[in-house]
């Protein structure tokens, strides 16, 4: 017993499987922290988009870069462990390390928006899966780093951890960026909202009629929306929030959080048109 605990620096023996508790703990703690930090309603301020069209495309772009680097990670790891037919060059270890660091950096603008702005969402299965996997990414990363730093785990541990990290990353990317790009190329869903949870606006809805409803209902007292010439400051800025059709529809019908309900003042068709107007024009 004493040897196992005290000897590691001298005797480079393989660790016992019990040491797996360390990476598991790292995974659980980090994933849970990400989930807890993300426990809030979507925030209205602090989004950025750099050279992308909106924050959703920024997220998708960086996530795609991270996955591309992840593919290189997998490839260079296979080379390092001599699973490829070619001789192992000297630059492959640093290339592996640096592509890993770069991939991590690429995830940061994504995580910033997901964790601190949009928060953990469960509007539908895709979003829930995306939220859960999103929390898991840094957990998987932490456990892989733990394994690398502690050294001498049984042989299959590192490749399995690396593979799991890659799988989680691909899952997050698939449930967001791939979905978004598919959505972009679908003209029926052109009115995509930056929060990423937008189902298409129903075909019968008229944003033009919705603009009138917006003007007549006093929304501009509380909300900013450039397309309507509204500059209210009490509620969230709709150009920044870019709420989905479903969200506007629900919020207008039910109110809440300081906003009056319009369910009994407006007809279902008026609310539908209003939601189509806000969802398609906000942020534009
Ligand atoms: C008296 C002020 C007031 C008026 C009038 C008002 N809102 Fe709001 N609205 C708010 C506040 C405050 C919130 C934030 C609610 C929250 O954080 O839960 C909000 C939230 C929203 C949201 C975001 C919901 C979400 O889940 O993030 C939308 C969309 C919205 N309002 C649309 C409208 C529309 C459309 C109208 C006109 C029919 C309108 N509001 C009228 C105050 C108002």
The per-residue pLDDT for range 114-127, each reduced to its tens digit, is 898 888 888 778 88
CA–CA separation, 103 and 12 (whole Å): 31
Burial class (CB in 10 A: 0-12, 13-18, 19+), 70: buried
Within a 10 A sphere around the Cβ of 22, how many other Cβ atoms?
16
At 179, the pLDDT band (50, 70, 90 cuts) reads confident
The pLDDT value given to residue 191: 40
CA–CA separation, 195 and 42 (whole Å): 8
Say whether pLDDT at 106 is over 90: yes
Q: Whose CA is nearest to atom 24 of ligand 1?
A: 251
Burial class (CB in 10 A: 0-12, 13-18, 19+), 123: middle
Q: Whose CA is nearest to atom 5 of ligand 1?
A: 219
CA 83 – ligand 1 centroid, Å:
57
Query: Using an 8 Å Cβ cutoff, are 164 and 27 in contact?
Result: no
Say whether pLDDT at 185 is over 70: no
Percent of the chain with pLDDT over 70: 89
Which residues line the pocket of ligand 1, CB cutoff 6 A? 42, 217-219, 221-223, 234-236, 241, 243, 247-248, 251-252, 256-260, 262, 274, 278
The pLDDT value given to residue 171: 94
CA 259 – ligand 1 centroid, Å:
5
Distance from chain centroid for Cα 161: 21
Give the pair of three-digit tokens for residue 227.
């397309």
Say whether pLDDT at 168 is over 50: yes
Burial class (CB in 10 A: 0-12, 13-18, 19+), 17: exposed
CA 114 – ligand 1 centroid, Å:
22
Give the pair of three-digit tokens for residue 211.
């603009």
The pLDDT value given to residue 198: 47
At 48, the pLDDT band (50, 70, 90 cuts) reads confident
CATH architecture of 207-281: Orthogonal Bundle (1.10)
CA 224 – ligand 1 centroid, Å:
10
The β-bridge partners of 256 are 259
CA–CA separation, 178 and 55 (whole Å): 15
**Span(s) in the chain for CATH 1.10.760.10:** 207-281
The pLDDT value given to residue 10: 58
**Ligand 1 pocket test target in 122, 222, 260 with most atoms within 8 Å of CB:** 222
| C-alpha torsion sign, points 21, 26, 29, 31 | negative
């Amino acid at each position: 017993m004493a040897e196992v605990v005290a000897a590691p620096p001298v005797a480079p023996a393989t660790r016992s499987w019990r040491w797996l508790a360390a990476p598991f703990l790292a995974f659980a703690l980090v994933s849970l922290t990400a989930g807890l930090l993300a426990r809030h309603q979507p925030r209205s301020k602090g989004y950025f988009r750099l050279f992308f069209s909106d924050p959703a495309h920024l997220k998708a772009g960086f996530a795609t870069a991270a996955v591309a680097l992840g593919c290189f990670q997998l490839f260079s790891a296979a080379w390092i462990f001599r699973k490829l037919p070619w001789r192992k060059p000297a630059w492959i270890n640093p290339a592996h390390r640096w592509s890993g660091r770069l991939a991590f950096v690429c995830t940061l603008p994504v995580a910033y928006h997901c964790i601190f702005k949009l928060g953990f969402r469960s509007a539908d299965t895709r979003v829930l899966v995306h939220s859960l996997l999103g929390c898991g990414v840094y957990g998987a990363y932490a456990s892989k780093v733990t394994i690398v730093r502690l050294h001498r785990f049984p042989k299959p541990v590192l490749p399995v951890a690396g593979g799991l990290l890659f799988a989680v990353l691909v899952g997050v990317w698939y449930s967001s960026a791939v979905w978004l790009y598919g959505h972009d190329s679908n003209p029926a869903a052109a009115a995509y909202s930056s929060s990423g949870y937008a189902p298409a606006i129903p075909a019968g809805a008229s944003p033009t009629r919705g603009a009138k409803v917006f003007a007549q209902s006093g929304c501009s007292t509380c909300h900013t929306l450039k397309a309507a010439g509204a500059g209210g400051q009490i509620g969230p800025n709709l150009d920044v929030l870019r709420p989905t059709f479903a969200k506007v529809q629900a919020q207008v019908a039910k109110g809440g959080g300081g906003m009056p309900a319009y369910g009994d003042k407006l007809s279902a068709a008026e609310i539908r048109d209003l939601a189509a107007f806000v969802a398609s024009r906000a942020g534009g």
